[in-house]
Structure formats: structure tokens, C-alpha cells
Amino acid sequence: MAAIKTEAKSTAAKRDYPKGVSILHDPMLNKGTAFTEAERDALNLRGLLPPHIHTQDEQVLRVMTNFRKKPSDLEKYVQLVALQDRNETLFYRVVMDHLDEMMPIIYTPTVGKACQEYGHLFRRPRGIYITAGDKGRVARLLKNWPYRDVRVIVVTDGERILGLGDLGTFGMGIPVGKLSLYTACAGIHPSACLPVTLDVGTDNESLLKDPLYTGLRQKRLRGEPYDALVDEFVTAVQKVFPKALLQFEDFANINAFRLLEKYRNKICTFNDDIQGTAAVTLAGLYSAMRISRGTLKDQTILFLGAGEAGIGIGDLIVSALMNDGLSIEEARRRCWFVDSKGLVVKSRENLAEHKLHFAHDFQQCADLKTAINRLKPTALIGVSGMPRAFTKEIVETMARINERPVIFALSNPTSKAECTAEEAYLWSGERAIFASGSPFLPVTIQNKTYVPGQGNNAYIFPGVGLGVIACQAKHVTDEMFFLAAKALANQVLESDLAQGRIFPALTRIQEVSAVIAKAVAELAYEKKLARKRRPADLTSAIKSIMYKPVYPSYV
């Protein structure tokens, strides 16, 4: 990243920039109506733009005025995508200045609807598509990307997009959205970000029949051919973009765990659904303990859902509890899971491998209600994708068992949430410590207003990525996510907790990301995982490479 910024400064006076309509069509260089008089002369723009020169502030005003007139969130999403496609700097200025408004549009929940409609909304391609037919030429495809100093790649195969399932190439909206958050939340330069979709087909029959579907019209590739394509892609990334962090995103359980295990010690990579979700949830639990005056090691945590997110959270909680002095057996005994067949226990047959170490010796419970009554959990975490699974009876039972029940409805998008914020507060007699995966508006009950926390991975992965980039870490470790969770929890203010909010305000996200980045980089230096020499002032070094959406001067 430092190299990117330094290069931009050193070549500003020497580079032959595109002229005329060419520079207006380059989103990384375009300033729209903000080109100065001198720039209009030097770049042959005279007459191609309206005569009045607008400041960037005035341009933001125009964007926000139109944004707030849009009748639906999906139309707002389309407007922002169009802005990003023509003026990247202005797009990030708008997003950073209005993150509370923009986050639900450029990411969850609106991005879910946008992915479902992705081919229907398609205007301009963004990212790299690698298909099952590209075997043997993946590196060549990556070299078609116009930017050479790529530092973060987010890749999906589209099989498990949020809680919406197999969306094939329509899932490209997820890597694009995630990388927008890397820039907006942690200041990673847009030119250093590359979204990738591995198009291996889709098993979604409605997409295969859709004339506007943008991907291969075939069933999903499985087995050795699938693994060979992924392996060629990973190898090509190391060759073409050797400094890149590779983030796996929205892969199905059948591939997510094994791909993480296969590559985590070979390259610089992580899976956000497993590790990022785990870290933000652990941070939420730490904050909840500040409200309840409890300790993590005294909690009994029951999960609804035993997929990537749930098991990833459980594993990180176990690491945190072991750090507090518990044995691995004692730590695992604090975490219990309910899946589609009931409580995960030892007596169950044909359990998936990733569930085995949380299969305890306990009587079988057929459903969530029975498990709650028998286990008496202090925290209930929903990662099931089952809307309204936390019923009034479930929440009331948790409130009867606990003075301050912890209820996290983390499934995305909003339509998949296990309960709403209002339901959690009302049904618990206003005693629930609540968090969700998608945002909910503040809830006012009898003149008291509660601000529900959003357990958004954007609190974690951008800061982790920034830390990895700052020190050029060789690998991303589970300990980095543990430290990221602690750093995030430590950024929650008492004033946040007083409102029921267990995560910092989004307006502080870049500040929080810098703190997380420092914790990650410090660990990398301590464990000798950093390829870059440690600066005298790590905090200043990290902040110095954070992108600011300010127009350059071309003359």
C-alpha cells in the first residue's frame, strides 16, 4: 500500500494521463465537474464538461440529494454502483462521509437483494470471472486486471451467498461489496482491491432457466476438477499478485472448511464467514459481559446453526476460554449446537466432521426449545438462516432463565434474522443484550431508546486486512482474529453500552480498524510472520497508508 501511494505522488507531475473523454471514462481518474480550469486545458476537457467547476463538497451534495429521493434501497444501490463505475473517488467520499446510511445499501441487507437481481441490473463488469473452462490459463486471466499492485482479493464461488443459497455468478456482488468496505472502513486503496468469482456452474434451477443469467449454464463442478481449478487459481494469485491477501467468501460448508485448512498455512488467506464472523461475535460477547457483569468462562452458549459461522464462532470462543485458563475440553463444553436434526450430541450418527468436537455426551434434544430448557444457556446465538426461529416463547424462556439474556440474531440479510431487535427487547422485558447481523433501527419502549448492535464483519476484516498489508504478513492466524476481537471490544465506550449498543458507532470505523490493524501487525512481528521491517511508530505507519478520497491534481 505504501508503494501505491508513493508511486501516485512521484508520478503525478510526469505521467501522461489519458485526455479528453478517455479520462472521463476512467473511474479511478475521473473528477467529473471538479476538474479545474487548468486541468480542462491540459487534458483537452474544454467543452466536454459543463462550464461551472464544482467542489467535491458540492458533488457530494448532488449525490446525496438524489440518493435520498430514490424510492427503494435497491434503486439506491444501483445509483451508488453507477457512481463507483464513473468516479471512484467521489463514491468513497460519499460512503465515508455517510457510512451509517451507506453500509446497509452497499452491503447487507440490500446487497442480498442486489445479488438476486445481479444479472438483471448488470451494466458494467467489475472484477475477474474465472470459469470451469479456463483450466490452464488462470494466470493469464489475472494479468488482464489493469492494476498490478493488488493487496486484497475477495473470491467466491457463489454457492452460499449470505443466507440466500446458490446464486452462481450473481454472487459477484459480495466480493465487490466486501472490497468497498475494505476501502471505506480501513482505507485500503481501491486499486489494491480485486473481486473474483469462480464460475463453476450453479445448481439453482431458476438461474439456469433465466435468460439474463450471467454465468455458465451447467450444474456445479464437484470433486477433483473443482479442486484443480481452485488450486490453479491460488497458485496463479501467488505468481501474479505475490503480496495479495486472499479472502474466501460465501463458499458452502462442503468446501469452506477444507479449503481453509488446505491453504491457511501455505499462503496469506482466511475465510471471513468462519473467522471474521467469529471475531465480531466474540467481541460482542466481551461487550455483553461488561453489561451483565459476567465472565466469558461462566457462560453456557447455545447456537442455532452448526455451519461455517457457528462452528467458526465456537472455535474462537474455545481459544479465548483456553486463554483464560480452561482446558480444551472445558472450553468446548461451554458451547452447544442445535442443527436441523436437533442438539449435536455424541449419540448422533453421521455427524459432519466439523461438528464432531462439539458433540457432547448429553441426552438428545429434538428442538431448540427443549435444548434451552435442559441446558439453561446464558447466551443464544442464531446463525441458522431461519427467519423468526427465536419465537416469543424462546425469548421469554431465555429471559426467565437469565437476568440479562444474550440474544444474537446474526443471520443475513434482515429477512433471515432469527428475530428483530424490537421482538428481543419486548419479549425479554427490555432485558435482552441484543445484536444482529443486519442493521435494525433504534427501538423506543416507554420513553427509553435502545440502539441494537450490528455484529457486522466490517468491524473486523478490514482492520485485519490493513494490519496484514501494513506488515506484509505471510499468514493470517486464528490468534490475529482473537486479538482483533479483543481490540474491537475495547473500543466500545460506556456511552455505547448505556444505549444497549455492544459495538462502536460506525462513524468511528476507520479509527477502530487502525487499532485492530496495529494488534494484528504487532502479533505478526512477534511471531516473525512479517516480511516488512517494523517501523519505529507502527500506529503512524498504518495511518499513513490509509486512503483518503481526495482528488489529485493533474497539472
What are the residue numbers of the active site?
Answer: 107, 178
Round to whole Å and give the CA distance between 385 and 250.
13
Compute CA distances 503 → 33, 122, 433, 466, whole Å. 38, 35, 12, 20
Round to whole Å and give the CA distance between 17 and 309.
46
Among 481, 296, 308, 281, residue whose Cα is nearest residue 381: 281
Greatest Cα pair distance, the chain, in angstroms, is 79
Residues paired with 530 in a beta bridge: 473
Residues paired with 393 in a beta bridge: none
Give residue for cell 480444551: 328
Give residue for cell 481501491: 190
Strand, coil or helix: 63? helix
Report the 10 Å Cβ neighbour count for 134: 16
Helix extents (H) in 1-117: 2-11, 21-24, 37-42, 56-67, 73-86, 88-97, 99-106, 110-116
Round to whole Å and give the CA distance between 483 and 518.
10
Query: Do the Cβ atoms of 499 and 451 come closer than 8 Å?
Result: yes
Round to whole Å and give the CA distance between 341 and 491.
39
Which string of DSSP letters, residue by residue, matches 298-349?
G--EEEE--SHHHHHHHHHHHHHHHHTT--HHHHHTTEEEEETTEE-BTT-S
Residue 155, phi then psi, degrees to nearest 5: -120, 140
CA 481, distance to chain mean position in Å, is 13
Report the 10 Å Cβ neighbour count for 372: 22
Residue 486, phi then psi, degrees to nearest 5: -65, -40
